Every structure is written in C-alpha cells, then in structure tokens.
Amino acid sequence: MSLLQIDNVMGGYTEINILNGVSITLNKGEILTIAGTNGAGKSTLAKAIVGLLPRVAGNITLAGRDITSVSAEERVARGLGYVPQVANVFSSLTILENLQVVEGVKDRSARIQEMFELFPLLRERKKERSGRLSGGERQQLAFARALMPSPQVMVLDEPTAALSPAKVADAFKLIARLPSLGVSVLIVEQRARQSLEISDRGCILDGGLVALEGDARSLLEDPKAAELYLGRGREVSSGKT
C-alpha cells in the first residue's frame, strides 16, 4: 500500500532546480533508501518532503492526502516525522525536557515512558543536558523526539553522518526496528551499501533525477549501481547533498 507518494517533484533553494522531476513511492511497512553521489539531490529531496525546501513544484501525498502546500508543522501533525542531519535536539535542554517540548503528542507522559522503554539509556540520563551527549546518544534522543507524535512515516537525513564507526551499526539496527513500531522509513544515507542492507527498496538519484530504483538486493548486486553510485564496495563519501 502506497503511504508516501512523490510525483514529478522539482525545486531548489534558488531559481535553479536541484530536483528535476523526482517520482518515488514509499509503501506501508517499508524502508526505502535514497542514495547517490554528492550533489545528486538526496538531502534536498528530504527537505522537499518535510516542507523545508523554499521552492517546490509537483505533488507530495501522505496517506492519500496532498501535503505539497502545507507547512512543515502541519505535515508533522498529519504523521510525518523528520530527523535532520544536524540541529536535531535542543542542546541546552535535558533529555527529559527535549521530549516534553515536542508538540502534537497525545498522552505525553505515557509516550515519554514508551520512549524510555525503547531507549533505556535515555531513561538513565534523563536529567542530563543534551549538549553533553555523545553522537550516538544524541541520535537516540533525536529518534525519540521524532517518534513522540507517533508518525506514520519517518524521513531520516544522513542519520549516521555524525557517528563514530562503532556506533553506525547500532544506528542501522535501530532503523531496521522502526517498521515493527508501525513506522515506514525513507532514509537518505551516505553509507549506501549498509543502508540498502536493511532496506526493502532503494532509489539512486543522479542530477536531481531517479537514475536507478528497485528492490534493495537487486541494487546491491547491480554492476551499474556498484560502478557509478556505490563505489565498488566503498561507501559513498560524505558531503553536501
């Protein structure tokens, strides 16, 4: 069942398009990886989906409802979660306060306890200021914040970018659990191979267009994808996308 539908989306930060007509679908219960080289439009697409791209044309629907022109806040209210690459927690607030200030949450106290069950480390350090957390701990808090309103879809923008190599595997294990919590996932990721390993399908962007798409295993085994986009076993390098 199609949950998130992106149809012929174009746009960018100025009058120059970075996205040049992207069409993709995220199905219910699915993890979809968006990959591609630097500058392909991956993070720009994520911002277009969540309502943070200044100029967008085309159509974006969530659970059958058009969200193309609604605000980022309204998209959250309709079930769209977002974990940005940076500035994803309030550093001056404690872990508990970060969860308490999330808007649009029903039965806030109960939901916070559910987050503490999912992330026991956050319970242990709930009075710790978030600015003192490690990269992996901050990422757990960012995920918990995004999950607080019980989203149908989570858009993750480079979720492993700030993590140490030792914590990357933990992050992917966490992402792989999200469908079991009723959350479908669209993940923009520089570590394309590792992300595809936990995904159902993948989509590779090139020049703001869909260059290749299909089930994740097929893309991992596709010689063209390996040669042009996945680096013959190396991860796609980090950088602005």
Evaluated on CA atoms 109, 62, 13, 162, the torsion sign reads: positive
For 44-67, what is the mean pLDDT? 97
For 19-45, what is the mean pLDDT? 95
pLDDT at position 231: 55
The distance in angstroms from the start CA to the end CA of the chain is: 29
- By C-alpha distance, which of 228, 64, 50, 35 is closest to 155? 50
Whether the predicted model's global pTM rises above the 0.75 cut: yes
For 205-231, what is the mean pLDDT? 87
Q: How far apart are CA 41 and CA 12, in angstroms?
A: 9
Confidence of residue 1 (pLDDT cuts 50, 70, 90): low
For 194-213, what is the mean pLDDT? 95
Above 90 in pLDDT, residue 234? no
pLDDT at position 237: 38
pLDDT at position 206: 93
pLDDT at position 127: 95
Asked if 157 and 193 count as a contact pair (C-beta separation under 8 A), the reply is no
The per-residue pLDDT for range 88-138, each reduced to its tens digit, is 899 999 999 999 999 989 899 999 999 999 999 999 999 999 999 988 899
pLDDT at position 155: 97
pLDDT at position 50: 97
Share of the chain above pLDDT 90, in %: 78
pLDDT at position 71: 96
pLDDT at position 181: 93
pLDDT at position 167: 87
| Least confident segment among 57-61, 185-189, 223-227 | 223-227
Above 50 in pLDDT, residue 219? yes
Could you tell me the domains of the chain? 2-86+151-233 (3.40.50.300)
pLDDT at position 215: 95
Confidence of residue 235 (pLDDT cuts 50, 70, 90): very low
Q: What is the mean pLDDT of the chain?
A: 91
